Amino acid sequence: MKRAISLIFLTAACIVCFLSVRGTLPFIPIYGSSMEPTLQSGGLLMIEPIDAKDVKVGDIIVYDVPPMVRDYYNYPNVVAHRVTDIRTQPSLGFRTKGDNTGEDPFTIRPVDLRGTVGDQIPYLGIPLLFFQSQQGLIFAVVALALLAFFLYGGTALVEGRGELIRPLPSVPNMWVVIVVPDVPVPAGKTTSMYAALKPAHFTDGTVTQKLVDNVATGKKIDVSLLFNTFENIAFDDFNLRRVYVEHLEKLGAPHVHLCGSGPALFTLFENKPPAEELYKCCHDQGMQVYLVASL
């Protein structure tokens, strides 16, 4: 039940983020510098209701931009700008502009009026703005899918850029010993490692497919099939390979692999006693080490 509640809560949070940038909630993230310093970019702006007849010149109003106007002028869904003129003929309308930009090239109708500016919460709009991008939406979908697998356990094959997830039969619980080497981590480490990769460092997918076949047929996990192409780069480092990888293997680690782009290392055990023994040896030697069970 707790897992289900957690998933529902996070799903609702993503929906709120999505709706907030679409202008359907009583707050919006502040984007751009057109109204600075009055409205600070990255903040969260609360919208206060106001009747169209009460709007005065000089007020900052929040309004929806009609789809056709938005597409033609490349405007966002919702805008907060200052009123410069009030038109009464042929019908009530408002002319607006940003404090740091020119006049908006269209008239705001009363039906599009959302309200006026209320309180601002600094920086809280930044994560909401992320959901305006295509990357943000992809992130939300992938994160929720991965979260569902994490909360409910299970095994899956993730393909593509993370958007393709294929469930697999559950694998037996295993024990994981994680060691964090005491080595310098330069700025831009992962970027430089990506740049150092060459076509020869990659496989055609057969190694991973063999591992998937083992899992699908209920066989034991063959740790030698765990493949991380970053090991081709990271394990060229003499200190990491000699001081840690080879040393861990001498202490009893069956196979030592890199966590992501490193520098953390891990090894798997089917049973807890040998994992505890390796953990104790590493701990007694002053290493930063962790012992955890797989889901």
**Fold held by 27-122:** Umud Fragment, subunit A (2.10.109)
Question: For the residues 12-26, what does the mean pLDDT come to?
Answer: 59
- Pairing of the two strands 78-87 and 60-64: antiparallel
- Pairing of the two strands 164-168 and 93-97: unpaired
Taking alpha carbons only, the member of 142, 174, 139, 134 closest to residue 159 is 142
In the structure, what pLDDT confidence band is assigned to residue 27 with cuts at 50, 70 and 90?
confident
Mean pLDDT taken over the chain: 82
What does the pLDDT look like over 226-242, one tens digit per residue?
888 888 888 776 667 77
Q: What pLDDT sits at residue 241? A: 73
| CB contact at 8 A, 113 and 52 | yes
* pLDDT over 70 (residue 3): no
**Fold held by 171-293:** Alpha-Beta Plaits (3.30.70)
| CB contact at 8 A, 212 and 225 | no
Question: For the residues 94-106, what does the mean pLDDT come to?
Answer: 95
In the structure, what pLDDT confidence band is assigned to residue 12 with cuts at 50, 70 and 90?
low
Taking alpha carbons only, the member of 129, 210, 223 closest to residue 175 is 223
Distance CA(52)–CA(61), nearest Å, equals 10
Q: What pLDDT sits at residue 184? A: 76
* pLDDT over 80 (residue 148): no
Six token digits for residue 145:
């899918």
* pLDDT over 70 (residue 120): yes
How do the domains of the chain map onto residue ranges?
27-122, 171-293
Q: What pLDDT sits at residue 17? A: 56
In the structure, what pLDDT confidence band is assigned to residue 47 with cuts at 50, 70 and 90?
very high
In the structure, what pLDDT confidence band is assigned to residue 28 with cuts at 50, 70 and 90?
confident
Q: What pLDDT sits at residue 65? A: 93
Q: What pLDDT sits at residue 51? A: 94
Question: For the residues 279-291, what does the mean pLDDT come to?
Answer: 90
What does the pLDDT look like over 150-208, one tens digit per residue?
665 567 777 776 667 777 777 777 899 998 888 777 788 788 888 888 888 887 778 88
Residues of the chain with pLDDT > 90, as a percent, come to 32
In the structure, what pLDDT confidence band is assigned to residue 225 with cuts at 50, 70 and 90?
confident
